[in-house]
Chain A
Amino acid sequence: NAGVTQTPKFRVLKTGQSMTLLCAQDMNHEYMYWYRQDPGMGLRLIHYSVGEGTTAKGEVPDGYNVSRLKKQNFLLGLESAAPSQTSVYFCASSYKNSNQPQHFGDGTRLSIL
């Protein structure tokens, strides 16, 4: 049972480049989330989804877009990468609603030069 899988694990981008982070879960979870974690800032919610075809903004959505075309996948896009987006990105999922515990992927370390 893979749980929550994130790809890629590491990536280095140049300012202005675009990329997509993929999150896949095999637990049939309805809710999925994207967070970023920076030193001293804790986990901050970027976007989330309460079901296939739905997305919503979190605390820090600017500069990111997301899509949930399939229930098991949640994609995070950076349209034009900036050095301020250098961070560790975590995807998570939960079963039925946000009152359920979340299961996390092992993160994507992204550096923007």
Chain B
Amino acid sequence: RKEVEQDPGPFNVPEGATVAFNCTYSNSASQSFFWYRQDCRKEPKLLMSVYSSGNEDGRFTAQLNRASQYISLLIRDSKLSDSATYLCVVTQTVPLVFGKGTRLSVIA
């Protein structure tokens, strides 16, 4: 089983839709979790950290399920500008492990 797995997509959704991505991880000792966003031919940028109790930042909600070893990202009221690749990141005592990303296209 790969350390971090994501559905590569693409997810094609209309503007205003709600979309959710999941990311599973294999190491139960993982300590920190993040979602990054990467636009085409650009560097990854931190979208949000994922906390055990779940957290929200505007239209974005991140959740962690340690028992089932997955994290999720929910995007409400999708905008055209949300089109990007979303990378989940998991870390423990060694450097971060990046998923390969889920591609989202928001269509007008």
Contacts and interface: CB of A to CB of B under 8 A. Distances in A.
B100 interface: yes
Interface size class of A (residues with CB under 8 A): 20 to 34
Interface size class of B (residues with CB under 8 A): 20 to 34
B95 A45 contact: yes
Contacts of B42: 106-107
Given A40-B100, A43-B87, A99-B32, A90 B43 contact: yes
B96 A98 contact: yes
A98 B44 contact: no
Contacts of B93: 98
29 contacts: A31-B95, A33-B95, A41-B100, A42-B87, A42-B98, A42-B100, A43-B44, A43-B98, A45-B95, A90-B43, A98-B91, A98-B93, A98-B95, A98-B96, A99-B31, A99-B32, A100-B32, A101-B34, A101-B46, A101-B49, A102-B44, A102-B46, A102-B96, A103-B46, A104-B43, A105-B43, A106-B43, A107-B41, A107-B42
